[in-house]
Amino acid sequence: MNVFFPKEHINEARFSLTGETAEKFLKKNIDLYVEETVQFQDALLNNLIETAKVKTVSRQQGLSSADIICSLNKLSLDDIAHVKQDTLVVSFLDPFNEVELISELKNRSISSISMELVPRTTRAQKMDALSSQANLAGYSAVIIASNHLEKALPMMMTAAGTISPSKVFVVGVGVAGLQAIATAKRLGARVEAFDTREEVEDQVKSLGARFVKIDLGETEKTSQGYAKALTADQIKKQQEGMKKVCSSSDIVITTAQVFGRPAPKIITAEMVEAMQPGSVVVDMAVSSGGNVEGSKKGEIVDIKGIKIIGNVNLPGEVPTHASQVYANNIFNLIDEFYNEEIASFSYNLSDEILTNCIVTHKGEFINKSVKERNN
């Protein structure tokens, strides 16, 4: 079996293979190929390439001959045209928005796994790329915000007077939100957090932050623990409750996303303008529509002295570690279902992990939600 790792797009510093995971693949007698134009900072991976243990090929050759193709970002339709039938494509596919792409995968009988759909179960934790990348995104959000903030984060006792700690408000207490809270606390900020799921209050408090309580009435969550979309009335109540907190915050970080749907607008222009000039807002959901009114993909917007940061690739700000954990997620996924006797990936469609994350296989949609949306 051979696995191909194509070059990512020009603004992507992460990669889906590291020297460490390459050695694990090679021990299983799996042949590895990387696109010949990729430049690596990974000394071990470069050494494996120089000694031809990991081989380099052109993009077209790699796509057309691979048994498995692994990447972070989804392939283009032009790429898919070169992929042979029954190849397995593994990446963040964004299957609910990339309808044309997944239809093409199905029509060409190309198997595909969407890393967003790996279930949040104990057994699948080591493959959960959504969580591993969100963790680093939460860290990066705080670091970027602190770089743009015109204040220091921790309290400082100096001969010239006492500097008060900056105040950070985190909206959404999932994986990214928890890491943002932990990072801001480690940097000495005073941290508050809000989530529609009141059961996360203990997690917030365990990190030394204050949980902001806003009565929204009955709220729901998905089977995997994510918050479900709020009603229009609940969103209005949430905005009213958060406005006061935002106005006294130096940094606001929003993480609220609903998978497969546009992100909810929870920070209005009025709430932004209530903040003090020099404050910073990081919209972590900007790539799916944004939580913050006025945020723009890939841009820093200045509204009356308040900066709204719309970084679309926060994990990519720490590409070495982001690549490390993603490459491990990929290896763990393939290793879990690799049949060494026949040197092939085993499509056990009765397995709960595969039934969730396989989008297309043998000309059919497999994931239940994807199938329902495309019928």
Catalytic residue among 42, 79, 128, 250: 128
Burial of 114 (0-12, 13-18, 19+ CB in 10 A): buried
Q: Would you report the helix, strand and coil content of the chain in percent, each value rounded to 5?
A: 40, 20, 40
CB atoms within 10 A of CB 123: 11
Cα 201–chain centre separation? 23
Tell me if residue 226 is catalytic.
yes
Concerning whether 250 is annotated as a catalytic residue, the answer is: no
Q: How far is 119 from 323, CA to CA, in rounded Å?
A: 21
Q: Which of 224, 226, 233, 276 is catalytic?
A: 226
What DSSP state is assigned to residue 292? B
Catalytic residue from among 61, 64, 65, 131: 131
- Both tokens assigned to 256: 């609220």
Task: Answer whether 152's CB lies under 8 Å from 167's CB.
Answer: no
Residue of 31, 65, 109, 120 marked active site: 120
Helices (H), the chain: 19-27, 43-50, 59-65, 77-80, 99-107, 129-148, 175-186, 201-206, 232-247, 269-273, 319-336, 352-357, 368-373
Neighbours of 159 (CB within 10 A): 4
Question: Is residue 33 annotated as a catalytic residue, yes or no?
Answer: no
**Which residue is catalytic, options 109, 125, 203, 369?**
125
The enclosing H or E element of 302 equals strand 300-303
Alpha-carbon gap, residue 120 to 364, rounded angstroms: 24
- Torsion sign, CA atoms 80, 83, 86, 87: negative
CA 54 to CA 281: how far, in whole Å? 43
Indicate if 128 belongs to the active site.
yes
131 is catalytic: yes
Which residue's structure tokens are 């998905």?
222
Using alpha carbons only, give the angle 290, 189, 318 rounded to the nearest 5 degrees: 55
Task: Tell me the catalytic residues.
Answer: 120, 125, 128, 131, 226
